[in-house]
């Protein structure tokens, strides 16, 4: 009999709808969505009533009144530090949506708060948990392409992300912190730690404030080199949203992904196709389903790590390394990445 995990969700906005559904789907695995919270009472009430949870408009009140085993923070980045400070003070294990914080100083403070408290803190960095990305790591570990020494990790879209997330238009630091954080994390996931990063940022869409295109060049500690790209300003057909397209070359072969979660693996001159498309769930729909499905696998991973008493793969300490790459790509072009 597994111990029940009572979850409290903070933030019931656009993306949190996926978290709500994921926690509901994990009920057979011993997870209960006990409480939800949003400063907007209409959103908190709607989430509470739809998902059968008690609802609050004040996170401090929720933490006082509930006995929670896990808090899931799905608010925007500028609110994360204060909410994490609150949950660490209550010694409640916590997951935070990406971007972990608004800047490196905040992220370091959150990591330190979790270290001091000795309490589980992890980042909901779901790209690593997408089915095709996990399959790629499985192929790399199998040795099928030999030692990986070059990669391109690419998220290029013109999909209208602004209709669901209008605040993105107003961000001064935009695509690198919003999307670069995902693809830089994938670069670490596939090729290991990074010793050098350089970047070029572009402002292609005059209707948005921040940079909407980032092209990064990374040298990994292994000696491998990767080109890591993201843009919300591409005009392509077909549009690959929300898929990350990956090419990795090794000394025995290559991995190339195509739209539709199709992975072409060449090993010693022979090419095979692997279908890594996630299933459609009752609450997922195209084109978002690859992302939505990964929310479920990310939440499941968090619960498993918590139950096992080990840090998540995307623990606070791990994600600090990804966040440091984002900051390096913004500010220290061509220099060594800041120490995590
Ligand atoms: P949103 O603005 O739609 O939702 C955030 C909600 O948090 C709002 O309803 C707001 O009222 C509430 N809120 C703010 N401060 C609060 C507080 N102190 N206590 C309780 N509630 C509070 O934003 P969103 O688009 O859902 O984005 C939320 C986060 O999810 C962002 O960090 C974003 O980057 C991330 N996101 C991740 C993915 C992904 O694939 N991982 C996709 C989209 C968004
Ligand atoms: O992660 C995000 O915030 C989203 C994405 C579409 C990439 O999932 O913008």
pLDDT in tens, 80-112: 999 999 999 999 999 999 999 999 999 999 999
161 lines ligand 2 (CB under 6 A): yes
| CA pair distance 290, 310, nearest whole angstrom | 27
What is the share, in percent, of the chain residues with pLDDT greater than 70?
A: 97
**Residue 183 in contact with ligand 2 by CB distance below 6 A:** no
Which ligand is closest in space to the CA of residue 87?
A: 1
Which residues fall within 8 angstroms of residue 96, CB to CB, at 6 or more apart? 73, 80, 83, 84, 110, 121, 122, 123, 124
* pLDDT over 80 at 2, yes or no: no
The rounded mean pLDDT for the chain is: 96
- Token digits for 298? 């990310």
Q: Is the distance from the beta carbon of residue 242 to the nearest atom of ligand 2 less than 6 Å?
A: yes
Quick one: average pLDDT of 295-300? 98
Give the model confidence (pLDDT) of 100-149 as tens digits.
Answer: 999 999 999 999 999 999 999 999 999 999 999 999 999 999 999 999 99
User: Which ligand number lies closest to the CA of residue 128?
Assistant: 1
Q: Is the pLDDT of residue 262 over 90?
A: yes
Dist. CA 43 → ligand 1 center (Å): 12
Taking the C-alpha atoms of residue 325 and residue 99, their distance in angstroms, rounded to an integer, is 12
Q: In what order do the strands lie in the sheet with 262-267?
A: 194-202, 213-220, 225-231, 148-156, 245-250, 253-258, 262-267, 270-275
159 pocket-lining for ligand 1 (C-beta < 6 Å): no
Nearest-ligand number for the alpha carbon of 85: 1
Instruction: Tell me if the pTM is above 0.95.
Output: yes
Closest by CA to 155, choosing from 225, 231, 214, is 231
Closest residue to atom 44 of ligand 1, CA basis? 15
pLDDT higher than 60, residue 291 = yes
The finding on whether 79 has its CB within 6 A of some atom of ligand 1 is yes
The tokens of 169 are what? 């238009």
The pLDDT tens digits for 36-84 are: 999 999 999 999 999 999 999 999 999 999 999 999 999 999 999 999 9
85 within ligand 1 shell (Cβ under 6 A): no
Cα–Cα dist 243/223, whole Å: 27
* CA 249 to centroid of ligand 1, rounded, Å: 37
Q: What is the per-residue pLDDT across 207-255, written as a single tens digit (0 to 9) for each?
A: 999 999 999 999 999 999 999 999 999 999 999 999 999 999 999 999 9
- Check residue 321 and give left, alpha or beta (phi > 0: left; psi -120 to 50: alpha): alpha
What's the pLDDT at 3? 86
Q: How far is the CA of 181 from the centre of ligand 1 (A)?
A: 16
Q: Which atom, in ligand 2's list, is nearest to the CA of 159?
A: 6
Q: Is the pLDDT of residue 333 over 80?
A: no
List of residues 6+ apart from 105 with CB closer than 8 A? none
pLDDT digits (tens, 9 = 90+) for 8-40: 999 999 999 999 999 999 999 999 999 999 999
SS3 helix, strand, coil % of the chain, rounded to 5?
Answer: 40, 25, 35
Cα 333 from Cα 123, distance rounded (Å)? 26
Domains of the chain: 5-124 (3.40.50.720), 127-282+316-336 (3.30.360.10)
pLDDT given at position 336 = 46
Please name which ligand lies nearest the alpha carbon of 78.
1
């Amino acid at each position: 009999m597994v111990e029940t995990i009572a979850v409290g969700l903070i933030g019931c906005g656009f993306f949190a709808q996926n978290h709500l559904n994921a926690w509901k789907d994990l009920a057979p695995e011993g997870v209960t969505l006990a409480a939800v919270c949003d400063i907007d009472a209409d959103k908190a009430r709607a989430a509470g009533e739809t998902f059968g949870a008690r609802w609050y408009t004040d996170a401090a009140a929720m933490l006082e009144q509930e006995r929670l085993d896990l808090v899931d923070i799905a608010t925007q980045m500028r609110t994360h530090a204060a909410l994490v400070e609150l949950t660490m003070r209550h010694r409640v294990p916590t997951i935070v949506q990406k971007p972990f914080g608004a800047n490196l100083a905040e992220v370091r403070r959150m990591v330190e708060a979790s270290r001091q408290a000795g309490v589980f803190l992890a980042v909901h960095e779901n790209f690593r948990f997408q089915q095709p990305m996990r399959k790629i790591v499985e192929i790399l570990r199998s040795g099928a392409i030999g030692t990986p020494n070059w990669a391109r990790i690419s998220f290029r879209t013109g999909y209208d992300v602004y209709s669901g997330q209008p605040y993105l238009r107003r961000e001064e630091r935009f695509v690198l912190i919003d999307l670069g954080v995902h693809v830089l994390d994938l670069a670490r996931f596939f090729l290991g730690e990074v010793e050098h990063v350089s970047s070029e940022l572009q402002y292609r869409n005059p209707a948005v404030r921040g940079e909407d295109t980032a092209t990064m060049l990374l040298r990994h500690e292994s000696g491998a080199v990767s080109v890591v790209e993201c843009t919300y300003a591409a005009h392509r057909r077909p549009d690959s949203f929300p898929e990350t397209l990956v090419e990795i070359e090794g000394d025995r072969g290559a991995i190339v992904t195509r739209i539709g979660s199709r992975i072409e693996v060449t090993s010693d001159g022979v090419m095979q196709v692997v279908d890594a498309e996630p299933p459609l769930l009752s609450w997922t729909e195209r084109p978002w389903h690859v992302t939505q499905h990964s929310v479920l696998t990310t939440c499941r991973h968090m619960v498993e790590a918590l139950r096992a008493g080990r840090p998540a793969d995307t623990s606070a300490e791990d994600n600090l390394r990804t966040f440091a790459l984002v900051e390096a790509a913004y500010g220290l072009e061509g220099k060594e990445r800041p120490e995590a």
